[in-house]
Amino acid sequence: MIGLANAIRYAALSLLITAAYGDSLVIKNVHVHPVTAPDIENGQVLIVDGKIADVGKKVTGRGAKIIDGHGLDLYPGLINAATNIGLEEIGSLRDTVDLNEIGEFNPQLMARMSFNPSSSHIDVTRSAGVTSVLTLPGSGGGRPGPEATVFYGQGAVMRLDGWTWDDMTVKAGAVLDMNFPVIGNAPPKPFPEMEKEYRKKLDQIADFFENARRYQKAKAAANSDFKPDPRFEAMIPVLEGQRPVFVRAARERAIKEAVAFADRQKIKIIIAGPEEIGDTGPLLKARQIPVILGDTLALPLHDDSPYDSRYTLPNEFYKAGVKICFGTFDVQFARNVGFQAAAAVAFGLPYDAAVKGVTINAAEILGVDSQLGSIDKGKLADLILTDGDPLEAKTNIKMEFIDGKQVSLENRQTQLYEKYLNRP
């Protein structure tokens, strides 16, 4: 029983290489799952300066520290493409939540600069094999109706290890978090009236973009009188197509409207948290608009929807040729992102698409695929060593590396576990 309690510690200790293992490291005797290439049985990975220097049947790392993987599986670290980690500690305590700032247009707000590097969610999520996350400044909540928030601010890709938020930033300003307005989010009014309200809101957004463009032009032709404005400044990467807009759009109509909006504004968007596909598949495919899916394990939209209509949703987007990845849109269950992908497999999604949906596809959609998402030469060495499929709940994460550095799998929960398991 004690041995069981110490399973994690054992895994850590028996394989632990001291933090100061130098600049290069070889992980050998592992089943490598690069995700972007065929699996390598009994393979090896060379890590130099925190990056993957080589991967194959045999790598040469002169003077490198060696870790024996004992035939375990090596995967790229999982990516959760939608969370609020670092910005929310205890959901019901407003003082510990830094989401949904007041105001409709806040494109200048930056999630990463308020990311709490000591949040207990970081350790807990990391120990489940999630090595990086998109942290968002919004939660889709906030005020409904005409004063609903439009832009929450910028989300950042964060690695779940480091001393400061600065260390932990993989990509600042990765996305602009947007709450797409919906018709009829207000108390019941006749539909035409609500639609009018909605159109007005869209006009407001269009005006904001128009002003942002005027600002952009004025800045380009800048002289000494030019007055900078943080809000419009933050829109320039969006207008230039450098920063995709993370568009929260759940229903078919909202998705279509969001696509039309992106067409009009000529901006790059990601559809986030869709709850149905309707006939949006071809629209999204034609424009190569990717989708960040929320929980697969969710209730159907309508009483008479098929019981598995949310379970099959990932596969429906996949079949439509849309690039998908997974996010949990929360903090509490951020560690379970792999299980959400697995549930989609139970209901039709090809297994490879599920794995990619928590690794390389997430990296591509968030624009960090040059650094993350697969075991490929040149990428950051964010790796997990497991005793099986990382999407399965019964699988254990045995060892984990972020930027080539082995990270602790301990957290407050494992500490409490050991403490109380051994209570006399």
Partner 1 sequence: MRIAIFFLITFAIARARAETFLIKNATVMTVSKGKIENGSVLVENGKIAAVGHDITAPAHGTVIDATGMFLTPGLIDCHSHTAIEGNVNEGSVSDAAMVNVKDVINPYDVNIYRALAGGLTVSNVLHGSANAIGGQTVVIKLRWGKDAEGMLFAGAVPGIKFALGENPKRQGYPRTIFSGPNARERRYPGTRLGVEDVIREDFTKAKIYQQEWAEYNARIARGENPIPPRRDLQLEPLVEVLEGKRYLHCHSYRSDELLMLMKLSDEIGFKIRTFQHALEAYKVAKEIAARHIGVSTFSDWWSYKIEVVDAIPYNAAICVRKGIVTSLNSDSDELQRHLNYEAAKTMRYGGLTEEEALSLVTLSPAKQLGIDKRVGSIDVGKDADLVLWNKYPLSNYSKAMQVWIDGTKYFDVADDLKARADVAAKKKVLLEKEKARQESDKKKAPSGPKNPKAPGEVL
Partner 2 sequence: MKRALAVAVAGLVCAVCVRAAAPSAIAIKDARIVPVSGPDLPRGTVLLRNGLIEDVGPDLTIPADAWVIDGAGLTVYPGFIDGLSTWGVSPPPRPEPAAGSNAASPPRAQGPEDRPEDDAFERAADLMNPSDSRLQMARDAGFTTAAAFPERGIFGGEGAIVDLAGARGRDMVVASPIGQYIALRTRGFAAGFPNSLMGVIAYVRQTYLDLDWYKRANVVYAAHVSGNKRPGYDHYLEALGNSPRVLLPATEAQQIDRMLSFGVELKQPFIIYGLHEAYRRIDELSRSKTPVFVSLKWPAAPKDGDPANVPDYRTLVMRDQAPGVPGLLARAGVSFGFYDDGVDKTADLKKAVRKAIDAGLAQADAIRALTLNVAEIYGVADRMGSIEKGKIANLVVTRGDAFADKTKIEYVFVDGQQFKPSEDEPAKAAGDTAALRTTGAPPALGPQYPAVRAMSDHGVETSVCAIRACE
Question: Which residue from 100, 154, 336, 359 is in contact with partner 1, where contact means CB under 8 A?
Answer: 336
Q: Would you count residue 256 as binding partner 2 (CB under 8 A)?
A: no
Question: Which residue from 267, 339, 360, 401 is in contact with partner 1, where contact means CB under 8 A?
Answer: 339
User: Cβ closer to partner 2: 193 or 210?
Assistant: 193
User: Cβ closer to partner 1: 179 or 309?
Assistant: 309
Q: Would you count residue 413 as binding partner 1 (CB under 8 A)?
A: yes
CB-based contacts of 50, cutoff 8 Å, min separation 6? 380, 381, 403, 404, 405
Q: Would you count residue 188 as binding partner 1 (CB under 8 A)?
A: no
Site residues for partner 1, window 381-410 (CB under 8 A)?
391-396
Cβ of residue 327: shortest distance to partner 2, in angstroms?
25
Q: Would you count residue 421 as binding partner 1 (CB under 8 A)?
A: yes
Cβ of residue 145: shortest distance to partner 1, in angstroms?
17
Question: Which residue from 54, 101, 252, 418 is in contact with partner 2, where contact means CB under 8 A?
Answer: 252
State how beta strands 151-159 and 169-179 pair: antiparallel
User: Cβ closer to partner 2: 230 or 306?
Assistant: 306
Question: Which residue from 221, 224, 304, 378 is in contact with partner 2, where contact means CB under 8 A?
Answer: 304
Q: Would you count residue 225 as binding partner 2 (CB under 8 A)?
A: no
Cβ of residue 238: shortest distance to partner 2, in angstroms?
28
Dist CA 394 CA 379 (whole Å): 29
Cβ of residue 285: shortest distance to partner 2, in angstroms?
22
User: Cβ closer to partner 1: 7 or 260?
Assistant: 7
Tokens of 164: 């400061």
* Three-state secondary structure of the chain: CHHHHCHHHHHHHHHCCCCCCCCEEEEEEEEECCCCCCCEEEEEEEEECCEEEEEECCCCCCCCEEEECCCCEEEECEEEEEECCCCECCCCCHHHECCCCCCCECCCCEHHHHCCCCCHHHHHHHCCCEEEEEECCCCCCCCCHHHCCCEEEEEEEEECCCCCHHHHEEEEEEEEEEECCCCCCCCCCCHHHHHHHHHHHHHHHHHHHHHHHHHHHHHHCCCCCCCCCHHHHCCHHHHCCCCCEEEECCCHHHHHHHHHHHHHHCCCEEEECCCCCCCCHHHHHHHCCCEEECCCCCCCCCCCCCCCCCCCHHHHHHHCCCCEEECCCECCCHHHHHHHHHHHHHCCCCHHHHHHHCCHHHHHHCCCCCCCCCCCCCCECCEEEECCCCCCCCCCEEEEEECCEECCCCCHHHHHHHHHHCCC
Q: Return the number of other C-beta atoms located less than 10 Å from residue 415's C-beta.
A: 11
Tokens of 128: 């489940």
- Part in contact with partner 1 (CB under 8 A); list of ranges 38-46, 102-110, 185-193, 260-268: 185-193
- Part in contact with partner 2 (CB under 8 A); list of ranges 18-26, 127-135, 191-199, 319-327: 191-199
Site residues for partner 1, window 83-102 (CB under 8 A)?
89-93
Q: Classify residue 116 by burial, with Cβ atoms within 10 Å: 0-12, 13-18, 19+.
A: middle
Question: Which residue from 120, 185, 216, 408 is in contact with partner 1, where contact means CB under 8 A?
Answer: 120
With contact defined as beta carbons under 8 Å apart, do 287 and 259 qualify? yes
Site string for partner 2, 86-125 (x = CB under 8 A): ----------------------------------------
Cβ of residue 173: shortest distance to partner 2, in angstroms?
34
User: Cβ closer to partner 1: 212 or 399?
Assistant: 399
- Part in contact with partner 2 (CB under 8 A); list of ranges 24-32, 50-58, 227-235, 250-258: 250-258
Q: Would you count residue 191 as binding partner 2 (CB under 8 A)?
A: yes
Amino acid at 283: L
Question: Which residue from 41, 193, 263, 352 is in contact with partner 1, where contact means CB under 8 A?
Answer: 193
253, interface contact from partner 1, partner 2, none, CB < 5-8 Å by kind: partner 2
Site residues for partner 1, window 262-321 (CB under 8 A)?
297-300, 303-304, 306-308
The residues binding partner 2 (CB under 8 A) are 183-184, 190-194, 251-253, 302-304
The residues binding partner 1 (CB under 8 A) are 1, 4, 7, 89-93, 120-121, 124, 190, 192-193, 297-300, 303-304, 306-308, 331-333, 335-336, 339, 342-343, 345-347, 391-396, 413-414, 416-417, 420-421, 423
